[in-house]
Amino acid sequence: MPSKVFAWLHDDLQGFVGQIRLCIQADSNAPSKFFCDLFRQSGMVRFDLPIELMDGIVTLTASLALGESPEGPEELLCKDQVRFQKYLRLTREVPSWADAANPLVEWWDLHREGLNTVKMANYFDVYHRHLHHFRGRPTHILEVGVASGGSLQMWKAYFGPQLRLTAVDCCPFSGMRGELEDHRTSIWIGDQADPDFWRELVQSVPPPDIVVDDGGHIGSMQLAMFQSLWPHVAPGGVYIVEDIFLAYTQTRNSKLRMSNNS
């Protein structure tokens, strides 16, 4: 079910002529989403926002304006921000082959604060099916697309204290390396489509047991990364490419952030 956001349009707005446009912008790890609607009278209004895939804190920016369309002339009346916490349990259709109990789903449902991560609901059963045998063992995971680092918390909780993490992103936020790096986590900044970057990286870290490509979601970038990394994956390793559907649903610039979630 979508999350509901309520706003109260004050009675004083009845003095304005024409329609009032209320817009909500939702920002998290995922690309910003905009939701606008027109109102002719004051009172309680409701937006249904499809933010069930977001975790952690999502920033909502609300703007109230006079005008018939976002593109037309308008008089901005106000703009404010509100932060709220997601309290939604993960709802997913459990495949017939999946385990009834999934530690990744349990982690997601209990993860109420900390770093943001964004994952599609149906990924968790696939992860657990193909990665569960690495749990509790010395394991090296290489994930591309770090964003604010929530997925690093998830992997550490799932695999346990013997996990080593190599994380890659193209667009570091301020303080990323200081906040996320520790004795078992290293952060690399580079271009997913650059073979020279991968040559340097594989010479500096052990062969990964697991690779998760949650990067730019562009076919040419995914292919360049696969060609560079696949020969270096440890025997018996698993290579995961996420969100390949995005290559068919959006026109994406090759310089987009190498992350959705996580």
* Tens-digit pLDDT profile for residues 212-254: 998 888 888 899 999 999 999 999 999 999 888 776 654 443 3
Per residue in 163-191, pLDDT (tens digit) is: 999 999 887 666 667 778 888 999 998 99
Which among 85, 112, 128 is the end of a domain? 85
Task: Select from 246, 242, 191, 192 the least CA-distant residue to 214.
Answer: 242
More confident site: 182 or 63: 182
The helix, strand and coil proportions of the chain, stated in percent and rounded to the nearest 5, come to: 25, 30, 45
Enumerate the active-site residues: 217
Which among 41, 56, 85 is the end of a domain? 85
More confident site: 120 or 56: 120
Residue 90 lies in a domain: no
Provide the β-strand partners of residue 188.
168
Whether residues 146 and 119 share a domain: the answer is: yes
- Report the percentage of the chain scoring pLDDT > 70: 57
Average pLDDT rounded to a whole number, residues 154-159: 94
- Count of domains forming the chain: 2
Whether residues 171 and 211 share a domain: the answer is: yes
Whether residues 80 and 162 share a domain: the answer is: no
Q: Go through the chain and tell me how many residues it has.
A: 262
User: 207 pLDDT exceeds 90?
Assistant: yes
Query: To 5 degrees, how large is the angle CA 59–CA 50–CA 254?
Result: 75
Half-sphere exposure of 140 (CA within 13 A, CB side): 14
Average pLDDT rounded to a whole number, residues 5-10: 59
State which residues form the domain around 211. 103-249
Domain with residue 78: its CATH number is 2.60.40.10
User: 56 pLDDT exceeds 70?
Assistant: no
Residue 32 lies in a domain: yes
pLDDT tier at 101 (50, 70, 90 boundaries)? confident
Tell me the CA distances in angstroms from 39 to 11, 68, 72, 78, one per residue in order: 13, 10, 16, 15
Tell me the CA distances in angstroms from 83 to 8, 61, 192, 195, one per residue in order: 17, 9, 32, 40
Per residue in 26-44, pLDDT (tens digit) is: 766 666 777 777 766 666 6
Residue 98 lies in a domain: no
Residue 257 lies in a domain: no
pTM, rounded to two decimals:
0.63
Whether residues 118 and 226 share a domain: the answer is: yes
Half-sphere exposure of 235 (CA within 13 A, CB side): 0
How confident is the model at residue 188, as a pLDDT? 92
Which among 22, 55, 85 is the end of a domain? 85
Tell me the CA distances in angstroms from 119 to 46, 68, 126, 214, 245, one per residue in order: 26, 35, 12, 10, 14
Residue with tokens 């604060």: 113
